[in-house]
């Protein structure tokens, strides 16, 4: 090879290497990410598909260079071809094995453990031993305990929660404490997924759950300005309980009471319950956290500015088996239930939520959501605000609603519908510049929305207006979802249907 040709080859190779690096950087920047919408694509467990964005053009150009290199210098080009083809095959085959539903936070931390699975069967089995077991109540309990545990870690009062948290669990929380921790504030649970159910054939059943949350640690020494550090956290909790215990009613599932006697949590000098004398170190009476594992703790929030194509909008609906009969049976048992009224309420809630979301005025959504999903949405609103962003949805409308599931447990009735909608979905920064999405092109999507209503709710028509479902006064609720006029907690589903869950079409398992 003469000098000129060698020089050309070297410069071709350098160019090629540079282009590969550039493509990798571009792919990282446009990695699978969140898209927006109320509790929607960007919410945990949804929306993750594989973006390519700006990397596409670069890759085409890269392949073109490779072809040129192969023609001009086959001795170098052909081995390079083989390497490139192998890498593409490897990535492609791996991708096939990765489920489409990647959490946005997963993408941000770079892990893609699949955590989505429906545990309906396991929970039905558990209900044979504990007819009161309700997924809704269990979730409420976990949310409440999580917040109480983080708060207690900050105030140094974790030992008070020993009837609910094992020594090991409390230690693993304390280990996280930085020096001079004064408080943990702003605790928001972004999502909680059941990751496993075990021991249904043994006396003790275990449920592991994964949390994705956000909190702020306040650190400081007396006399100095305290410092605040905000973290996005993923952790796994393993809870256990005697299988044959009857779950308490929802109002008692708050981790505020002695699991044995139900009195306020208060300990005597020996560390036992001050009222009943029980020293609780297991799940003999109520769910008990055996272990807590910190999976990741990041200072940066979720990425909120990349475009992701919609996945699953045209998938066939996942409908509960035997749904027609279940529906007929439900209608028979609840003569006051009227589908048209329910659907009108679902539409009202959908519209109010989109408006609240687009304006970052999440309080507006308060009357329509259970505490948990309200908190989860609050997490996203805060993340947008912190990054100086706002996700807007203009010209949206529902194009179709299909009922797909009805469930009744000891305390709640729940109805899941699939909602198809469309609108202009885009994210703007504080200057009003569009940073992702488009305010011109129409985006179509579908989601599964689950509404709940307390079984003891008075038989009344579902409300499709902006009045309190209990007293009829214009809706005005405080942060805990209590009507300012009648003091009724209208977000518990005690009076009317409220939203309790949103699931993406590509990850909904029924
Ligand atoms: Zn007690
Ligand atoms: Zn009221």
Task: Summarize pLDDT for 49-94 with one digit per residue, the tens.
Answer: 223 334 445 555 566 676 776 777 777 777 767 666 665 555 444 4
Which of the given ranges, 10-14, 300-304, 398-402, 472-476, has the highest pLDDT on average?
Answer: 398-402
Q: Are 32 and 57 in contact (CB under 8 A)?
A: no
Q: Whose atoms come closest to the Cα of 275: which ligand?
A: 1
Q: Are residues 344 and 421 in the same domain?
A: yes
Q: Tell me what percent of the residues of the chain surpass a pLDDT of 90.
A: 45
Query: Residue 470: nearest ligand to its CA?
Result: 2
* pLDDT, mean over the chain: 82
What's the pLDDT at 5? 73
42 within some domain? no
In a shared domain, residues 147 and 84: no
For residue 465, the CA-to-ligand 2 centroid distance in Å is: 13
Confirm whether 45 is domain-assigned.
Answer: no
**Neighbour count for residue 426 (Cβ, 10 Å):** 21
pLDDT above 80: residue 22 = no
Phi, psi of 437 (to 5 degrees): 75, -170
Calculate mean pLDDT across residues 416-432. 94
**Among 220-234, 302-316, 425-439, whose mean pLDDT is lowest?**
302-316
Q: Is the dihedral of CA 68, 70, 74, 75 positive or negative?
A: positive
* Look-up of token digits 């020993």: 162
Q: Specify the pLDDT at position 107.
A: 30
Residue 37 within a domain: no
- Asked whether residue 259 falls in the same domain as residue 402, the answer is no
Nearest by Cα to 288 from 312, 259, 263, 268: 259
Q: Identify whether residues 227 and 356 lie together within a single domain.
A: no
Residue 42 confidence (pLDDT): 44
Q: Are residues 495 and 447 in the same domain?
A: yes
Mean pLDDT, range 338-346, rounded to an integer: 95
- How far is ligand 2, taken at its centre, from the CA of residue 476, in Å? 8
* Residue 15 included in any domain: yes
How much is the pLDDT for 112? 35
In a domain, 293, yes or no: yes
User: How confident is the model over 185-216, as pLDDT tens digits?
Assistant: 988 888 889 999 999 999 999 999 999 998 99
Q: Look at the chain and report how many structural domains it folds into.
A: 3
Pair (232, 327) in one structural domain: no
DSSP-derived 3-state class of residue 464? coil
Q: Does residue 291 share a domain with residue 193?
A: yes
Average pLDDT over residues 333-349: 94
Could you tell me the two tokens for 347?
A: 């539409």
**Which one has a higher pLDDT value, 253 or 349?**
349
Only one residue has tokens 């999976």, namely 295
**Same domain (yes/no): 413, 494:** yes
pLDDT at residue 119 above 60? yes
Q: Whose CA is closest to 161, among 266, 251, 237, 261?
A: 266
| Sheet architecture: strand order including 204-219 | 181-198, 204-219, 227-242, 288-298
For residue 44, pLDDT over 70 is answered with no
pLDDT of residue 301: 74
CA of 125 to the centre of ligand 1 (A): 29
Dihedral of CA atoms 303, 309, 312, 315 in degrees, nearest 10, equals 180
For residue 328, what is the domain's CATH number? 3.10.450.240
Domain contains 63: yes
Nearest bound ligand to the CA of residue 265: 1
Q: How far is the CA of 463 from the centre of ligand 2 (A)?
A: 12
Looking at residue 109, what is its pLDDT?
29
Question: For residues 18 and 39, which has the higher predicted lDDT (pLDDT)?
Answer: 18
Among the residue ranges 200-209, 231-240, 294-303, 414-423, the one predicted with the least confidence is 294-303
- What's the CA gap between 265 and 256, in Å, rounded? 6
Q: Evaluate if pTM is beyond 0.75.
A: no
Distance 148 CA to ligand 1 centre (A): 19
Q: Which ligand is nearest to the CA of 487?
A: 2
Residue 278 Cα to ligand 1 midpoint, Å, equals: 6
Residue 420, pLDDT score: 96
60 and 155: one domain?
no
91: in domain: yes
Q: What's the gap in Å between 487 CA and the centre of ligand 2?
A: 6
Task: Note the pLDDT of residue 45.
Answer: 32
pLDDT per residue over 439-493, tens digit each? 999 999 999 999 999 988 877 778 888 999 988 899 998 888 899 988 888 888 8
Judged by its nearest atom, the ligand closest to the C-alpha of residue 280 is: 1
What pLDDT shows up at residue 509?
78
The DSSP output letter for 438 is -
Relative to the alpha carbon of 276, which ligand is closest? Answer: 1
* Proximal ligand: closest to the CA of 483: 2
Burial (CB count <10 Å: 0-12, 13-18, 19+), residue 219: middle
Q: Are residues 172 and 70 in the same domain?
A: no
> Which pLDDT belongs to residue 70?
74
Q: Which ligand is nearest to the CA of 472?
A: 2
**Within a domain: 215:** yes
Asked if residue 21 has pLDDT above 70, the reply is no
Q: Which domain holds residue 434?
A: 323-504
In this structure, the answer to whether residues 87 and 188 fall within a common structural domain is no
- Ligand index nearest the alpha carbon of residue 478: 2
Window from 107-116, 327-336, 458-467, 501-510 with minimum mean pLDDT: 107-116
Report CA(272)–ligand 1 centroid distance (Å). 8
Residue 152: per-residue pLDDT: 95
Instruction: Find tokens 């249904």 and name the residue.
Output: 200
Q: Could you tell me the two tokens for 37?
A: 């919408």
Cα separation of the two ends of the chain: 65
pLDDT confidence of residue 52:
32
Same domain, 128 and 93: no
- For residue 248, give the CATH number of its domain: 3.10.450
Distance between Cα 169 and ligand 1 center (Å) = 21
Ligand 2 geometric centre to CA of 495 (Å): 10
Q: Where are the beta strands (DSSP E) in 130-226?
A: 181-198, 204-219
């Amino acid at each position: 090879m003469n000098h000129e040709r060698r020089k050309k080859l070297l410069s071709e190779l350098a160019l090629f290497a540079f282009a590969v690096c550039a493509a990798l950087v571009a792919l990282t920047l446009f990695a699978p990410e969140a898209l927006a919408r109320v509790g929607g694509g960007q919410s945990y467990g949804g929306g993750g598909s594989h973006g390519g964005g700006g990397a596409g053009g670069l890759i085409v150009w890269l392949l073109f260079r490779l072809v040129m290199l192969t023609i001009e210098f086959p001795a170098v080009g052909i081995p390079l071809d083989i390497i490139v083809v192998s890498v593409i095959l490897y990535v492609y085959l791996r991708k096939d094995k990765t489920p489409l539903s990647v959490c946005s936070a997963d993408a941000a931390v770079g892990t893609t453990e699949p955590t989505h699975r429906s545990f309906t069967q396991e929970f039905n089995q558990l209900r044979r031993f504990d007819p009161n077991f309700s997924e809704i109540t269990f979730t409420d309990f976990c949310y409440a305990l999580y917040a109480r545990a983080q708060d207690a870690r900050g105030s140094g009062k974790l030992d008070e929660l020993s009837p609910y948290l094992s020594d090991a669990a409390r230690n693993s929380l304390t280990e996280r404490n930085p020096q001079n921790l004064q408080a943990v504030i702003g605790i928001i649970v972004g999502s909680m997924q059941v990751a496993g159910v075990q021991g249904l054939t043994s006396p003790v059943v275990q449920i592991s759950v994964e949390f994705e949350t956000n909190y702020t640690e306040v650190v400081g020494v007396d006399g100095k300005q305290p410092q605040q550090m905000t973290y996005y956290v993923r952790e796994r909790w393993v809870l256990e309980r005697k299988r044959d215990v009857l779950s308490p009613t929802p109002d008692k599932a708050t981790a505020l009471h002695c699991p044995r006697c139900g009195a306020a949590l208060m300990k005597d000098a020996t560390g036992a319950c001050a009222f009943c004398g029980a020293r609780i170190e297991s799940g003999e009476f109520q769910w008990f956290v055996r272990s807590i594992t910190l999976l990741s703790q990041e200072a940066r929030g979720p990425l909120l500015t990349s475009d992701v194509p919609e996945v699953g909008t045209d998938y066939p609906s996942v409908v509960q088996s035997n749904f027609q009969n279940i529906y007929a049976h439900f209608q028979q048992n609840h003569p006051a239930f009227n589908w048209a009224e329910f659907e009108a309420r679902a539409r009202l809630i959908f519209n109010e939520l989109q408006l609240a979301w687009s304006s970052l005025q999440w309080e507006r959504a308060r009357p329509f959501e259970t505490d948990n999903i309200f908190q989860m949405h609050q997490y996203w609103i805060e993340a947008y605000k912190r990054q100086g962003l706002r996700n807007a949805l203009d010209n949206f409308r529902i194009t179709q609603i299909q009922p797909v599931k009805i469930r009744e447990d000891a305390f709640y009735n729940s109805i899941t519908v699939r909602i198809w909608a469309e609108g202009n979905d885009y994210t703007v920064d504080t200057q009003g510049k569009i940073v992702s999405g488009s305010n011109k092109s129409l985006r179509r999507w579908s989601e599964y929305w689950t509404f709940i209503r307390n079984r003891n709710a008075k038989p009344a028509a579902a409300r499709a207006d902006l009045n309190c479902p209990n007293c009829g006064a214009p809706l005005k609720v405080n942060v805990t979802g209590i009507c300012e006029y009648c003091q009724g907690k209208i977000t518990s589903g005690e009076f009317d249907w409220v939203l309790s869950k949103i699931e993406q079409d590509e990850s909904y398992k029924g």
